[in-house]
Structure 1
Amino acid sequence: MTHAAASPHPFIVLRDGQALPPGLAAPVVAIGNFDGVHRGHRAVIGTAVDQARSLGRPALAVTFEPHPRAFFRPEEPIFRLTPEPMKLKRLAETGLDGAVVLTFDAGLAAKDAESFVADILVGRLGVSMVVAGYDFHFGKGRGGSPIFLREAGRRHGFAVEIVAPLLDEGAQVSSSVIRAALAQGRVEQAAHMLGAPWEVEAEVIHGDKRGRELGYPTANMRLDPAVTLAHGIYAVTVEINGVRHKGVASFGRRPTFDDGAPRLETFIFDFRGDLYGRVLPVAFHAYLRPELKFDSIEALIAQMNEDSARARAALD
């Protein structure tokens, strides 16, 4: 797969009912959930972008929100690697000209594969080509397979390219494998499959100010309860005003103090400033140790000193 240059045009996001502007007519589309926009997804997207450039067509992603699994199994919250804002941000970095976000609701869930092709891909988008992963299924009861898509393309007059799975040392790169790696604290493995360190975005909230008393003032964030990142201490970077700052973060329940709801607490090295109310991205680079309970404040501070030194070394 070649790496396409970024699109010279602004990235456009279209939602239900919004018509394609003239500049996006007859697009080549990459279609999928794209949670994580990992290297396997980028193989699909990169193929679409390359094909679009060679044909002189625009390149779009067609994706779904909320994640279909959240619609079908609302009682089982899904750990989203990239919630919608971050997913769109990642898609905009791939060279695509835009994204079409389809609301996954009862109406879309009830639409059979043939109607999806006829109404959305052909009727609304007027696609010239569709690129999908080898395991992409769509339509009511997942009736639309890659084989069905190829046959539908022949009938409706658009080209179809199916992209083989991306293997990494013999293992398939997939969102579920990345989620499993993060649940075990294997952030380096997750970063390798994602093509970049895994990142969260959340608002900095007021905490109990305990870190300040210990000499380690932290930026506190509550993450989505569905996030199943392993509790522990991590070497991280935090982007503030476009600048990446190094730091050390604890994700967990603070067993030395209160065993409360999981929270991300980040000590940003060599930084002073008021961050309350800011939404900041935190990227996870290395797992340092599991969360521990300490018998004394002195033991905790000594460990925090060691964690900071290890985090600096890992990030250097």
Structure 2
Amino acid sequence: MRVFRAIEDITGGLPSPVATIGNFDGVHLGHREIFRRVRSDAARLGGVSVVITFVPHPLKVVPSGKDLRLISTCAEKEALIEASGIDVLVAIPFDRTFASVSAEEFVRGVLVGRIGIRKLIIGSDYRFGRSREGDVSLLQHLGGELGFEVDVMEPVGDGRTTYSSSLIRSMVSAGDVAGVVALLGRHFSLAGKVVHGHHRGSGLGFPTANIATEKELLPKNGVYAVKVKVDSEVYEGACNIGVNPTFSNQALSVEVFLFDFEEDLYDREIRVYFIERVRDERKFPDVEALKLSIAADVARCREILSHTRLIEYPSYLTGD
């Protein structure tokens, strides 16, 4: 996949580009259906498939009053878009100056002037440009004037639920990591470097890897059955997210105990896939009660993981 990180880097236009525009946080199954349509139409026209997005997310720049925690990091989003078979990614730097660009200026200067758009595929509720003034009607009007097609896709879902990034954020925040697979098309995951923590795990008989992650969205505090990728190998484990109330900690931590694993993980990058929530985090009266609970958690996690297949983002492309 070819990536443009500045509008100015696109010179001479692209060959018969068919594009879509959006934030695509999480790259869920609804986004992937749009990408599939973009790829199909680009192939039919002998052109390239293009995804246009913004870095950072516009709501990180334009005040909204929302505590927006993104499902994917920028690196994850790019990897997911590439795995979806897109030819070109245009990652436009979004700042207050760009936020002041009118919808019509964006269409004329970027979509037509730089990309040379031939066809645009968008959702029915898409808004863009200064103060979100641009909509489907404006795009269709300008498309007729400037010579590009506009196709509008209705919301994508399974007949009961419409796939959306906001719903996924809500589900993950509530700890529903099992249910969210149906919207994401994969298990929710986070990556990070293993760093030194309080070193209590070894004393409890369950040495844990403390993870420093850039992921904004974390599942609700508690214990989870997880699968963990170390290099190319996948291991099973139990993960605790929380503040370790038994020890009166205050800082939030993500700690993973890998089953049947004895290597040194410090300073290594690992990825944790959340399979199922086991219980809430809670405070125990003493260390012995905590140890008994951890042992029970590990047994429960082993049971869950013994019959669960890991779904990663490359595997869910099967059938495209």
TM-score for the superposition, normalised by structure 1:
0.91
Q: Distance in 1 between matches of 2:291 and 2:159?
A: 40
The one of 219, 227, 230 equivalent to 1:240 is 230
Q: Distance in 2 between matches of 1:44 and 1:76?
A: 26
Q: Distance in 2 between matches of 1:40 and 1:225?
A: 22
Between 20-29 and 126-135, report the one with greater CA deviation. Answer: 20-29
Mapping of residues 1-316 of structure 1, within 5 Å = 11-20=1-10, 24-73=14-63, 76-223=66-213, 226-316=216-306
How far the C-alpha of 1:111 sits from its partner, in A, is 0.6
Give the gaps of 5 or more residues in structure 1: 1-10
Structure 1 SS opposite 2:20: strand
Residue identity matched to 1:131:
I
Q: Distance in 2 between matches of 1:185 and 1:237?
A: 16
Identity percentage of aligned residues: 35
Distance 1:164 1:225, change over 3 A: closer
- Contact 2:172–2:220 (CA under 8 A) maintained in structure 1: yes
Residue identity matched to 1:19:
D
How far the C-alpha of 1:25 sits from its partner, in A, is 2.7
Distance 1:40 1:225, change over 3 A: closer
Aligned length: 306
How far the C-alpha of 1:297 sits from its partner, in A, is 1.5
Q: Distance in 2 between matches of 1:116 and 1:177?
A: 29
Deviation track 1:45-96 (CA, whole Å, cap 9, x = no partner) reads 1110111112221111100111111111287542110010110011111010
- Contact 1:70–1:76 (CA under 8 A) maintained in structure 2: no
Give the gaps of 5 or more residues in structure 2: 307-320
Structure 2 SS opposite 1:78: coil
- Contact 2:21–2:53 (CA under 8 A) maintained in structure 1: yes
How far the C-alpha of 1:224 sits from its partner, in A, is 5.0
Residue identity matched to 2:217:
V
Residue identity matched to 2:42:
A
1:3 aligned partner = none
Residue identity matched to 1:54:
R
Q: Distance in 2 between matches of 1:51 and 1:194?
A: 24
Q: Distance in 2 between matches of 1:172 and 1:161?
A: 19
Q: Distance in 1 between matches of 2:116 and 2:12?
A: 11
Structure 1 stretches of 4+ with a deviation exceeding 6 A read none
How far the C-alpha of 1:226 sits from its partner, in A, is 4.6
1:8 aligned partner = none
Q: Distance in 2 between matches of 1:131 and 1:198?
A: 27
- Contact 2:71–2:216 (CA under 8 A) maintained in structure 1: no
Between 11-20 and 290-299, report the one with greater CA deviation. Answer: 11-20
Structure 1 SS opposite 2:196: coil
How far the C-alpha of 1:242 sits from its partner, in A, is 1.7
- Contact 1:223–1:263 (CA under 8 A) maintained in structure 2: no
- Contact 1:77–1:226 (CA under 8 A) maintained in structure 2: no
Distance 1:25 1:244, change over 3 A: same
Between 236-245 and 176-185, report the one with greater CA deviation. Answer: 236-245
